[in-house]
Structure formats: C-alpha cells, structure tokens
Amino acid sequence: MTGEDAGGISTKMSKPVPVSRLSEGEAAAELERLAQEIAAHDRRYHAEDAPTISDAAYDALKKRNAAIEAKFPHLVRADSPSRKVGAAPVDKFAKVRHGAPMLSLDNAFDDEDVTDFVDRIRKFLALPSSEVLAFTAEPKIDGLSASLRYEGGRLVRGATRGDGAVGEDVTANLRTLGCVPQVLKGRGIPDVIEVRGEVFLSHEDFFRLNREQEARGEKSFANPRNAAAGSLRQLDPEVTARRPLRFFAYTWGEASALPGVTQTAVIEAFAAWGFPTNPLMTRCERVDEILAYYAKIAEQRASLGYDIDGVVYKVDRLDFQQRLGFVSRAPRWAIAHKFPAEQAQTELLDIDIQVGRTGTLTPVAKLKPVTVGGVVVSNATLHNEDEIARKDVRIGDTVVVQRAGDVIPQVVRVVTERRPHGAKPFGFPETCPVCGSHAVRELDASGEASAARRCTGGLVCPAQAAERLKHFVSRDAFDIEGFGSKHVDAFLADGLLSHPSDIFLLEDRHGAGPAAIATREGWGPQSAAKLFAAIRARRTIGLSRFIFALGIRHVGEATARVLAQNYGSAAAFIDAMTAAADEDSKAFSELDAIEGIGETVAKAIAEFFAEDHNREEVRRLIGLVDVEDAEKPKTDTVVSGKTIVFTGTLEKMTRNEAKARAESLGAKVAGSVSAKTDLVVAGPGAGSKLKDAQKHGVKVISEDEWLSMIGG
C-alpha cells in the first residue's frame, strides 16, 4: 500500500462520507482513488495470488464505486472498475490470425519518390492524364498498430500486428481504452469488420507516465511509442487501464461490407460509428497539393502533441485500391512519406547532474540553444555515465543533437574535429550533487555494475524527500492514517516537513500544531485532531515495520522481517548495521550470511548506514518513537524451519494472517513453489502452484488440515 492508500478511502477508513453528501469534486477524487485501490486489489488477487482484503471488503469498495457512478454518471472513468470485463491476466498472450493480413507501407523519402509513386499508379491503372486520381493524406502516427474485430457491431477481439498474419490477442487490454467503442452505433454497420489504426500516447501523457514510473521506482520509457507498446502488451489489463492510451482508426482488414466506395467515406463512417479518426486527414487531387500538405504537416509536427514520423498517402477510390493490390507485404495504393531525421549541431556548454525522486543521477547536456525540427533545444539527455564515456562527450565539444522519437532530444555523437584544445574527459560525480551522500553503482547478480548511479542518502536527500516521506507514512510502514500523498506534498512544499522525524515533532512545533494545521486548505479542527491522534498512535512500532519504513533500497517487508528477527531490538540492529557499514567487518559478513539476505541487499544496507546523515536521522527517530523488540521465531514447532506456500482462497483467515501465523511459528512463507518448498496449503481455486507442487513432489494439504496441524 502506498501513502495515498493510507490517506484515501481504504478498507481501514472508519466511516466514508455518504455518497449523497459528496460534492462533484469529492466524487471525482474518490472515483480516482477507488479505481486505483480496486485495481491494486485485483492485481494482488489475480496476478500475485495474494489478496490483502476479504471478499466482503472488496465488494464494499466496488459497491461504493457503483453508487458514486450512479449519482455522477458523467464522472465514470475510462479505467473505472465497473467497465472492466473479466480482467484475469494471462501467462502469455494467445495468438490470433487476422481476418486479413496487416500490411506495412513502402516509404518515400523525397518529392521525387512521391511523384514516382503517383506516376506508377496512373500507369498501372492506365489512367489518362485527364482523369482525376485522388489521394487521402494524413499524418503517420508513431505508435503501434492494432486491429479491432467487430461482429454484429460488438467488439469481439483486439490484436496487435504481430508478424502481419498472426498477432497477439490483447482484447482485454484494448477494451480498457476509453476511446475504443465496445459497441458500434449508427448506420451501415457490417456483420463483420476489422477496424485498424494506431495506438499511441500524447506527449503530455507520456511525460506524466514517466514521472509516475520514476516516482514508483519503476523504469521510465525512452519514447512515447515504447511506452504505448509496453502499456498495450501488459499481461495485466488493469495496468493498461491506467495508461492513457489513444487510438486513431485509419484502415480496415476483413469486412463483410464497407460503408462507402472511397477511403474518405469509410473513415468518415468510422468516425460516425464512434471511432477517433485523425482530424488532419484530407483529400488531394494533385501531386503539388500532396506536397503542400506534407510541408504543412512538417511545420505543425512540433505542436501536434503526439509523435508522427511522416505522412501517409492512400488512393481514395476503393475500386482502384482493389485493382492495384499488393507487392509483397505492402499495398501498391499507399505510401509513407517519411520526415528526414531532425538533427543539428551545437555546443555542449555543461553537463548537469539531476537527481530523480528515487535517487538516480541522470546527466543532462546543457546546450547552446539550437533549432531541431522547429523546436528550440537547450537540454538533451545523456542517459548515464557509460553513455558519456562511450561517446566520449566532453564539455566544450560540438555535438550532433537529434530529436529521437521526436520528444526527447539526444546527443548522438561528438564532432571530434571541432573539439577545443584541452577539453577533458568528463568525470562523473561519485557524490550526490543535492545532498552530498555517496552515489554508487550497484552490481547485479552477474557482478556487472548497473548503468545508473544512485544517491545513498535516501533518508536525508531533499531530491528524494517526497518519496521517502510517502513510503514512511504508508500502510505497511508507519501506517499514519489520514496522511496521504497529497498531504505529504503540501507539507513538504510549505517547509513543515523534510525528514521523517519531523512528523513526530510537528505537534509541538510553532505554527505546525493542530490549530495551525486545522486552518490549512482541506483541513479542519476534526481532521487535524485525527491526524495528530494517528501520529501519536504510531509512536510505538514493531521493529520490522520500523526497518521497512527507513526505505533502504532492496529492503522490502519480507527482508525487514528477517532483519528484525535476526537482530531482535532496534539498538542491536542499529549497532550491528553501523558496524556493517565497513564491508570488511565481521558485522558485514554476519549480515551477508543471514538466510534471505543476498549480497545486493547487504551492500545496500551497508551503504545506507555508511552515510552519517542517515545514521543521524535513524537516531533522531529512535529518540522520538518506541520501537518494540521482535519476537524471536520459534524453533520448536511442527513447522519451524519449513518453507510453506499458500495458494487459492483461504476461507478461515486472510492470506496475511496465515502468513503472519506461519512465520510466528518459525516457518518461512514463500510466494512460489520450488523443490525447496516443504508444504503447500491450498484453498479453492488454486491453480498453477498446485501443478508445481505435483511436479516437485511437494506435499499439499487443505486449510483445515493446516489448522489442525498447527493447533487451530
């Protein structure tokens, strides 16, 4: 759970505001929160096989969502849980054969290629020059193509292009796109039609998605096309539903009948049936019109708000298209007129190191402003330190800059002939430019250094403050109820907080106590009093939660529990970790030797405690809260030392309860079945894990058998 959930209408919230009393703004906010919360529960249930709430609590969330939607029908979200169809994710996409192959396009790179294309067609059709040969012209969207099959006007299948003949079945994912009609409306709808077009992301949505990815510590996408492809090809449709994918319909595959005799008429019918179509599509009758259109779109390219990489021309008359047919995998009646790669040369003035919200150091080229494809560029990404070394980019160099995928400018190469005398190789900083903590490159399992260098000052680095605080107050950490993500951002912006320990100092701080908070926007005396009560309630906390809350890289809940059980008390943990900061110490070897703590984790903990700032903050926290000692795991029960996997639906307890109980009896609870598993406890609906258990010859028992085994 995130801090957002802790502050939102979670299953823990005592009394949600009755739907009848919600204002429109509150309803919209709550629908958003519900969509996220329900999606998270769906994911845990379907994909992770580890639900965290009861079915009844889940149903209550869905019911509330439906009640709010009934009162505010215009607020129904594209990703609303009520719009989801059986969203159980699949292991891998099924293959689907397209009703008619999905073709690609030949390319034209200059005016001459376009003139040749038109001449070829005239010749093929033996058209006299007096006869009109019209074309449609439209932007070539840089996304990925998809085919939507409608039978009886209903969407029955959605597929990716694949190899053109066979694609992947992404029906559930495509159904989550708000702009894709589930049912066609209007006249002339054929029994069968495959409507095809491009799935893409706008620039604005792409940047927002990347900011969110970065905030969650997940990988960001290189360009909108990759982001769109990654979003559509998600095994879990819930993930796709949260991505603001768009669609433009521009062609078709199998069709039992067509609503017109020209390309223009068919696309107009698509629009009337409910599909988004590109408003920039036009009809041209002469080559000079086509070329003028190309020039106009090239000019507008930078301000369209989505990536295009050229213009597509198609013969307008469908009887002509029919006669022209195909050559290998491309139609004779269409061509893509590509834009040349936009490049320019300029001077590299400096290399700035930016620190992301999760601590990644990213080098950014500061450029002497230059126009690249109609846009003034003064910053470009250099990706990471290996890229700088590989391209040998030095401050003062003249560099070639390109707008790749159109939005994010890149430094392509150095014009070495123009290198100024004395330019030195760039020394990538080994400390964080924001907080001064060490910045390190982790080693992966094969011992290779990761491309990214990260700041180790997680607890104190201002660049990471928001993420750190949200994690700290989140449900599985300090669980401070009513203190959601929005509040953290606002308190941070106003300087009320910067370190986690500040939370426990707020109440006594001048201008930050209950009376002061009550006057803030969105707060009142009651909610302020509740917040401080919630903070007070968390002044006592278990050791494993405390460790998890520190947000040490790679230390999730399970690792925090292992650490808590091994060290027992906060004092013992902090002393040992402070000693382990020296990786040659006995304390480090002991940490590294703990079962369940790999070298990467041990190193991350050592690096965290090697930072003076982090240690100081941990000590400040210890002075403000009571950390309870961890219970030593039992070593004398029937299950102590055994590895257990729970699967399927448990009826007598939640998955979390079962896990906690097993662990308190000294067992280890694993998420998947392997040869090392001792026991599988299976409830109704158990799937692949049951098969794995059979494969490895692992004993399987029911929930009742489990309960009687551990004594109820």
- Distance linking the first and last C-alpha atoms of the chain: 29
Asked whether the beta carbons of 638 and 710 are under 8 A apart, the reply is yes
Residue 119: how many other CB atoms lie within 10 Å:
11
- Residue whose CB is less far from ligand IVH, 314 or 499: 314
Binding mask 545-574 for ligand IVH (x = CB under 6 A): ------------------------------
Least spacing, CB of residue 306 vs ligand IVH, in Å = 11
What pairs with residue 701 in β-bridges?
681
- Residue whose CB is less far from ligand IVH, 275 or 548: 275
- Residue whose CB is less far from ligand IVH, 245 or 393: 245
Least spacing, CB of residue 207 vs ligand IVH, in Å = 22
- Residue whose CB is less far from ligand IVH, 66 or 258: 258
If we measure between CA atoms, which residue out of 158, 102, 203, 47 comes closest to residue 688? 47
The residue from 312, 488, 528, 644 that contacts ligand IVH (CB under 6 A) is 312
- Tokens, residue 462: 């201002």
- Tokens, residue 27: 């309803």
Binding mask 189-208 for ligand IVH (x = CB under 6 A): ---------x----------
Q: Mark the segment that binds ligand IVH (CB under 6 A) among 55-63, 139-147, 317-325, 567-575.
A: 139-147
- Residue whose CB is less far from ligand IVH, 225 or 487: 225
The strand ranges marked E within 279-397 are 282-284, 308-315, 326-327, 330-331, 334-338, 343-355, 360-372, 375-381
103 binds ligand IVH, rule: CB under 6 A: yes
The DSSP secondary structure of 216-227, one letter per residue, reads TTPPPPSSHHHH
- Tokens, residue 364: 């950014």
Q: Which helix (H) or strand (E) holds 266?
A: helix 263-273
Least spacing, CB of residue 542 vs ligand IVH, in Å = 53
Q: Mark the segment that binds ligand IVH (CB under 6 A) among 101-109, 213-221, 594-602, 691-699.
A: 101-109
If we measure between CA atoms, which residue out of 303, 287, 433, 423 comes closest to residue 356? 433
- Residue whose CB is less far from ligand IVH, 138 or 205: 138
Asked whether the beta carbons of 2 and 485 are under 8 A apart, the reply is yes
If we measure between CA atoms, which residue out of 330, 186, 193 comes closest to residue 268? 186
- Residue whose CB is less far from ligand IVH, 6 or 141: 141
Can you tell me the distance from the alpha carbon of 75 to that of 82, in angstroms, rounded to the nearest whole number? 12
Catalytically annotated residues: 140
The residue from 41, 46, 140, 689 that contacts ligand IVH (CB under 6 A) is 140
Tell me the CB-side half-sphere exposure of residue 547, using CA atoms within 13 A: 30
The residue from 145, 210, 456, 544 that contacts ligand IVH (CB under 6 A) is 145
Residues 17-36 that bind ligand IVH (CB under 6 A): none
If we measure between CA atoms, which residue out of 286, 288, 268, 287 comes closest to residue 278? 268
At residue 107, the 3 state secondary structure works out as strand
Least spacing, CB of residue 142 vs ligand IVH, in Å = 7
- Residue whose CB is less far from ligand IVH, 140 or 243: 140
The residue from 105, 177, 361, 408 that contacts ligand IVH (CB under 6 A) is 105
Least spacing, CB of residue 680 vs ligand IVH, in Å = 46
Can you tell me the distance from the alpha carbon of 436 to that of 457, in angstroms, rounded to the nearest whole number? 8
Can you tell me the distance from the alpha carbon of 38 to that of 56, in angstroms, rounded to the nearest whole number? 13
Residue 60: how many other CB atoms lie within 10 Å:
14
334 binds ligand IVH, rule: CB under 6 A: yes
Say how many residues touch ligand IVH, by CB under 6 A: 15
Can you tell me the distance from the alpha carbon of 121 to that of 114, in angstroms, rounded to the nearest whole number? 11
306 binds ligand IVH, rule: CB under 6 A: no
The residue from 336, 572, 594, 624 that contacts ligand IVH (CB under 6 A) is 336
Can you tell me the distance from the alpha carbon of 171 to that of 160, in angstroms, rounded to the nearest whole number? 9
104 binds ligand IVH, rule: CB under 6 A: yes
Least spacing, CB of residue 293 vs ligand IVH, in Å = 13
406 binds ligand IVH, rule: CB under 6 A: no
Least spacing, CB of residue 167 vs ligand IVH, in Å = 11
Any idea which residue has 């067992």 for tokens?
667
Can you tell me the distance from the alpha carbon of 133 to that of 120, in angstroms, rounded to the nearest whole number? 12
- Residue whose CB is less far from ligand IVH, 10 or 277: 277
Q: What is the 3-state secondary structure (H, E, C) of 178-215?
A: CCCCCECCCCCCCCEEEEEEEEECCHHHHHHHHHHHHH
Least spacing, CB of residue 250 vs ligand IVH, in Å = 4
Q: Residue number with the shortest CB distance to ligand IVH?
A: 145
Least spacing, CB of residue 145 vs ligand IVH, in Å = 3
Q: Mark the segment that binds ligand IVH (CB under 6 A) among 100-108, 409-417, 638-646, 704-712.
A: 100-108
Asked whether the beta carbons of 287 and 118 are under 8 A apart, the reply is yes
Asked whether the beta carbons of 101 and 165 are under 8 A apart, the reply is yes
Asked whether the beta carbons of 256 and 194 are under 8 A apart, the reply is no
- Residue whose CB is less far from ligand IVH, 317 or 615: 317
Helices vs. strands in the chain: H and E counts, helices first = 25, 26
Can you tell me the distance from the alpha carbon of 242 to that of 237, in angstroms, rounded to the nearest whole number? 9
Binding mask 485-524 for ligand IVH (x = CB under 6 A): ----------------------------------------
- Residue whose CB is less far from ligand IVH, 30 or 138: 138
Residues 119-138 that bind ligand IVH (CB under 6 A): 138
Can you tell me the distance from the alpha carbon of 271 to that of 250, in angstroms, rounded to the nearest whole number? 10
Least spacing, CB of residue 153 vs ligand IVH, in Å = 23
Residues 161-180 that bind ligand IVH (CB under 6 A): 161
Least spacing, CB of residue 68 vs ligand IVH, in Å = 38
- Residue whose CB is less far from ligand IVH, 266 or 411: 266
- Side chain identity at 674, as an amino acid letter? S
User: Which residue pairs, CB below 8 angstroms and at least 24 apart, start in 669-677?
Assistant: 669/643, 669/644, 669/645, 670/643, 670/644, 670/645, 671/48, 671/49, 671/50, 671/645, 672/645, 673/645, 673/647, 673/698, 676/643, 677/643, 677/644, 677/645
Q: Mark the segment that binds ligand IVH (CB under 6 A) among 43-51, 99-107, 363-371, 506-514.
A: 99-107
Least spacing, CB of residue 296 vs ligand IVH, in Å = 16
- Side chain identity at 317, as an amino acid letter? R
The residue from 34, 35, 53, 141 that contacts ligand IVH (CB under 6 A) is 141
Residues 241-280 that bind ligand IVH (CB under 6 A): 250-251
Q: Mark the segment that binds ligand IVH (CB under 6 A) among 171-179, 331-339, 509-517, 593-601.
A: 331-339
Residues near ligand IVH, by CB under 6 A: 103-105, 138, 140-141, 145, 161, 198, 250-251, 312, 331, 334, 336
